[in-house]
Amino acid sequence: MLGSSDFSHIGSSPATGLTTRCLIPVPRREDIHKILLIGSGPIIIGQACEFDYSGTQACKALREEGYEVVLVNSNPATIMTDPSTADRTYIEPLAWEIVAKVIERERPDAILPTLGGQTGLNLAMDLDHHGILKKFNVLMIGANPEAIAKAEERDKFKTAMEKIGLECCRGRTVRTLEDAREAMSEVGLPCVVRPSFTLGGSGSAIAYNREEFDVLARRGLDQSPISEILVEESVLGWKEYEMEVMRDLDDNVVIICSIENFDPMGIHTGDSITVAPAQTLTDKEYQRMRDASIAVIREIGVETGGSNIQFAIEPQTGRMIVIEMNPRVSRSSALASKATGFPIAKIAAKLAVGYRLHELPNDITRKTRACFEPTIDYVVTKIPRFAFEKFPEADSTLTTQMKSVGETMAIGRTFKESFQKALRGLEVGAFGFGCDPKDLWETDLQPSNGEIAAKISRPSAERVWYLRYALKAGFSISEIYDRTAIDPWFLDQLSQIVEMENELRARETLDRVDAEQMRAAKRMGFADRQLGHIFRTGELDVRRYRKQMGIQVTFKSVDTCAAEFEAHTPYFYSTYEDEDEVPDKVPGRRRIIILGGGPNRIGQGIEFDYCCCHASYALRELGIESIMVNSNPETVSTDYDTSDLLFFEPLTIEDVLNICDRVQPDGVIVQFGGQTPLNLARALWNAGVPIIGTSVDTIEAAEDREKFRVMLEQLGLHQPANGIARNMSEARTVATEVGFPALVRPSFVLGGRAMEICYDQSQFDRFVTEAFVVAEGQPVLIDRFLEDATEVDVDAIADGTRVVVAGIMEHIEEAGVHSGDSACAIPSFSLPTAVEEEIRNATVALARALQVVGLMNVQFAVKRESETFKVYVLEVNPRASRTVPFVAKATGLPIAKVAAKIMAGQTLQELGIHSQPIPMRVSVKESVFPFRKFAGVDIVLGPEMRSTGEVMGVSDRFSIAFAKSQLAAGVVLPSSKQPSGKIFVSVSKRHKHQIVTFCRRLHTMGYNLLATEGTARVLEEAQIPVHRVKKLAEGNPNLLDHLIDGDISLIVNTPSGKGARTDEGRIRAAAVQHGVPCITTIAAAEAAVSAMEALEQEDMTVEALQDRFVEGAVSYYAPTEDRTTAVS
């Protein structure tokens, strides 16, 4: 309910007698009824689940107001694409041509472009440029195209800033290298090169010399969709701030949150450690920045909603510069929402339809209005999470181009506490600022002063650890400041943590730490695990010891108002204070905790957050109090109204046990948040935490290769020859038994980290060594690798007695490509019925044997051996898998919700779920990769997962569904309508015999084929015309020249040897940088050719999810036994 109706008191005061505008509440807009929202598409670097969070909030907010919401997003792993979130949901590629079809079909009155990230904004601008909005009379609300252009186009922005008396960096935009050089000489070196209209600052970097400048300028011109770069003065090392601003139609403007970056200018804010609120500004300076923010949003003309404005301040003089403005909700606004409790996206949506800020209630206090500026009584720290281990060839220096894949946020009463909590929430093996297993200090690997000095001078993911080493080594604050430009206030805070550590160490044993010091340490955010490390004892011993002394955690509310008003939204963080604010358990009402997935990383992201949210929805439907624990500010799960109680906490044993102590849950769900909660399951269970669903023993049994092998044998199922090794010599023995090619991987690791296929002994030795490092004491698994097998993923739900298969996904890429990286389809497109039946039976048998309660995922490989097919079980995971949301969207069965209800005690029968749904439409899931952010990285797919996100394409036919999935993933397949496109084919020896058919089809469609010598010979022998091109080493013109000239429209290149340094690696990397689709497997090439053929005959059509699962659109698998019964 909105407050507008009860707003009469303002004017009703008899004493005022004023007839004022506020007496007549401006109602919500009545001239629009149907609103189109555009999502942000797949998760990529710079655009993650924060836009699911904001889009979902917006959908809810608009529907609450009675508007019909049409949503377009290509990402199936989102809450916003759940059929119940919007009225009309289109999981379709985010290309303007496709969205135009949605508009034609739905005829929305308005489009709200400011909630779908840069993608949504760009797409809305495309629709405007192409006249679609005008043609169908669609109004752009929130921000109009002029305002967007003014904010996004550098020159316009700069002019606007000058007009209001604000300084920008000196510099200008240019479109040629020559002009760029001239601009550079104006601003001097070092200078920043920034391509226009790219995501997450993609392509921007700092040039320190002329040579670097030329390279960066060329690359920038190429990456910018409009071939434009900005060359500007460097403000490297300045203090960096962000302001989150909101404005309504009456020009009321409020600041929601200020953010101060721990890392100074020069490091993308997405890659910086950031802190809310600002810490080192006086009120005079803060208010000046506030004035500037208000002036900016007014001048740019964002009519309603939220914007993010970035400032740089010269530390010695206070000179303030406006860096940029995002005229939309952003990653930072999601952070600001979570940091303050103020729901920016929700309010932005309401403002867009005409409400004014003071007509909207503050949900948290209920009594006050949304028109105020949140004030907080804690400190928030956000730390980015990186994935450089997945891209060893990439430059890991942090620059103005964003490279992180996720983030964690922590709340504490002091910066020290929130900083240490955030470090342990990062889940990189650290439990705070040192004193943990990752700590190199006083080990053989302790860095020298020279190394420390070098490491802190170069911004990187690791720098934070070296700041501590610098303090431990006695570097002075000013010395560290000179090398890092990190504000001395922050450095002093870090120094206080190290001083506390040193004081603790001086006590030598835990029993010499008294209550006062223990409390002081806990208040600085020290984890029990860190104290255990210092005193060489277990974390649970520390826990017991401190609890005996009465040192216990307290939970405080996030309430937008620093306790000035009573808070009704139960959003909590832990700290060590006197008073606890968590409500007591309601007698008779069950409480169940869901453990979330922590920061996004490759292999564990939005899919798991989707599952956690669904678990919470399911519990609430059952009348159970749902409690979410997570540390990821980007997510829907950390929205304050997703669950009954939200604990914004790191996912560690200590933090979870603390919550359990306080809330006394009736159950804890560990199977939805990916590997993060699973890794805690054993310890939690041993500590007496009531884990519900599949038992911890089962979870471990599925991971225990020996137990697993015995079980498969008992069930009569096959697996590839395999073995387990605890050291190198064991590994070599296993290798001789298993044979080559062999698949090597560490156990208990998600996302295929350090997983490799070895074709010979030398590769094997290298990869096994690496796997042991990653395994951190756990064994390494070695399997025979099945070449050219088809991989099949199965998700199933079981309630302990019954099992229902939810989806059988046939992979497009062959086994060996990580399941998270390959494309797959529901229903399967080539598996014989008998094979599917065998897979189904095996799944049921496995679920029964493991006594699964909840979700289970099984990976199979199907290998054709002469005329028969043999089914192998590769892996069983008794937990929610990455494919759960895709299966739900493809089949219409909300399996995560069903599974949560089962864990809470319901049965499949009670829930009316009897059989596998088989949808009429074909859904194809495709993966999306961050290669464009990591120049020079080889893009070949392998057993180590490297994709960040996924998209889905749906159609009646597999080929069109595949084509849609490609378009959604940003891969624009060539079309014969532009016949100039040439297709380059170069495959490894192993694949030469497989290319003839699809190359002939390409030739038939009219494409010119290019190939290097070996491949060309194969095609010539098959009578297919082909142009030979030189290999890179053979001189010019070679393929790279063709790529640069832009006359290649598709590359098919399968790898023979992996590596960026090889010729083929360079070709693939170049293809990425030039935006040319590059297919690296034969299977995907065949699917692509089929898609291209299909597109010759028919166009892509769009269909709402709500129309897809109408009566009769899904059939159900009927078991053979039943059929026999029926016949007899």
Q: Which is nearer to other proteins, 562 or 834 (CB)?
A: 562
**Least Cβ distance, residue 1096 to other proteins (angstroms):** 59
Asked if residue 1031 binds other proteins (CB under 8 A), the reply is no
* Spatial distance between the Cα atoms of 792 and 830, rounded to a whole number of angstroms: 11
Nearest to other proteins of 249, 728 (CB atom): 249
Q: How far is the CB of 649 from other proteins (least distance, A)?
A: 18
Tell how far CA 137 is from the center of its chain: 35
**Residue 318 CB, nearest approach to other proteins (Å):** 5
Q: Which is nearer to other proteins, 300 or 681 (CB)?
A: 300
Residue given tokens 């952003």 in the structure block: 330
Q: How many residues bind other proteins (CB under 8 A)?
A: 72
Binding-site member from 115, 295, 871, 1087 for other proteins (CB under 8 A): 295
C-alpha distances in Å from residue 1084, one per residue of 457, 776, 810, 962 = 44, 35, 13, 10
Q: Give, as ranges, the residues between 254 and 293 that touch other proteins (CB under 8 A).
A: 254, 277-288, 290-292
Scan for tokens 């049994």, then name that residue: 701
Strand ranges in 639-755 using DSSP code E only, listed in sequence order: 645-648, 667-669, 691-692, 722-725, 742-746
136, 565, 740, 869: residue in contact with other proteins (rule CB under 8 A): 565
Q: Interior CA angle at 964 toward 808 and 795, to 5°?
A: 15
Query: What is the smallest separation between the CB atom of 250 and other proteins, expressed in angstroms?
Result: 6
Residue 295 Cβ vs other proteins, minimum distance, rounded to whole Å? 7
- Residue 472 corresponds to which amino acid? K
Shortest CA distance to 118 belongs to which of 308, 257, 245, 249?
A: 308
Residues 571-630 that bind other proteins (CB under 8 A): 577-579, 581
Whether 656 contacts 70, CB under 8 Å: no
- Cβ atoms of 423 and 383 closer than 8 Å: yes
Shorter beta-carbon distance to other proteins: residue 336 or 871: 336
* Shortest distance in whole angstroms from residue 314 CB to other proteins: 8
Which helix (H) or strand (E) covers residue 1051, if one does?
A: strand 1048-1053
Binding range to other proteins, per CB under 8 A, among 377-385, 427-435, 732-740, 1079-1087: 377-385
Nearer to other proteins, 583 or 1006 (CB): 583
Element (H, E) at 240: strand 239-247
Distance in angstroms (rounded) separating the CA atoms of residues 1092 and 321 = 50
From the list 143, 336, 152, the residue with the least C-alpha distance to 244 is 336
Q: Is 2 in the site for other proteins (CB under 8 A)?
A: no
Which of residues 18, 710, 773, 834 is near other proteins by CB under 8 A? 18
Footprint of other proteins on 464-503 (CB under 8 A): 477, 487-489, 492, 496
Closest to other proteins by CB, 600 or 658:
658
Q: Compute the least distance from the CB of residue 248 to other proteins, in Å.
A: 9
Minimal distance, residue 95 CB to other proteins, in Å: 41
Give Rg (Cα) of the chain.
29
- At 554, list the tokens: 């307290």
203 vs 264 by CB, closer to other proteins = 264
Residues 311-370 that bind other proteins (CB under 8 A): 315-318, 357-358, 367-369
Q: List, in order, residues 6 or more apart from 821 with CB less than 8 Å away.
A: 813, 927, 929, 941, 945, 946, 947
Shortest approach of other proteins to residue 526 CB, angstroms? 16
Taking the complex as a whole, how short is the minimal distance between the CB of residue 544 and other proteins, in angstroms? Answer: 24
| Amino acid occupying residue 887 | V
Token pair 């030398």 is at which residue?
762
Single residue of 159, 176, 252, 664 touching other proteins by CB under 8 A: 252
Give least dist CB 783 to other proteins, A.
53
| 229 token code pair | 């770069």
Judged by CB under 8 A, the stretch of 251-259, 384-392, 866-874, 999-1007 that binds other proteins is 251-259
Structure tokens at 622: 């059952």
- 6, 8, 21, 739: which one binds other proteins (CB under 8 A): 21
User: In the complex with other proteins, which residue's Cβ is closer, 30 or 579?
Assistant: 579
Rule CB under 8 A: is residue 553 a binding residue for other proteins?
A: no
Contact call for residue 512 and other proteins (CB under 8 A): no
Q: Which is nearer to other proteins, 284 or 536 (CB)?
A: 284
Q: What is the DSSP letter of 726?
A: S
User: Cβ 288 to other proteins, closest distance in Å?
Assistant: 6
**Which is nearer to other proteins, 80 or 166 (by Cβ)?**
166
Instruction: Determine, following the binding rule CB under 8 A, whether residue 371 of this chain makes contact with other proteins.
Output: yes
Q: Does 375 bind other proteins (CB under 8 A)?
A: yes
Amino acid residing at 579: E
Distance CA(589)–CA(571), nearest Å, equals 19
To other proteins, the closest distance from the beta carbon of 25 in angstroms equals 10
Q: What are phi and psi of 1003, to 5 degrees?
A: -60, -45
Part in contact with other proteins (CB under 8 A); list of ranges 17-25, 707-715, 897-905, 1033-1041: 17-25
376 is a contact residue toward other proteins (CB under 8 A):
yes
Give the integer Cα–Cα distance in Å for 125 and 627: 40
Residues in region 412-431 near other proteins by CB under 8 A: 413-415
CB of 266 to other proteins, least distance (A): 19
| Residue located via tokens 């200018």 | 265
Q: How far apart are CA 214 and CA 101, in angstroms?
A: 42
Residue 788, CB-side half-sphere exposure with 13 Å CA sphere: 8
Please give the structure tokens belonging to residue 485: 């430009």
Q: Which of residues 1085-1124 bind other proteins (CB under 8 A)?
A: none
Count other Cβ atoms within 10 Å, centred on residue 703.
18
Percent of residues in the chain assigned helix, strand, coil, to nearest 5: 40, 20, 40
Site for other proteins in 145-184 (CB under 8 A): 164-166
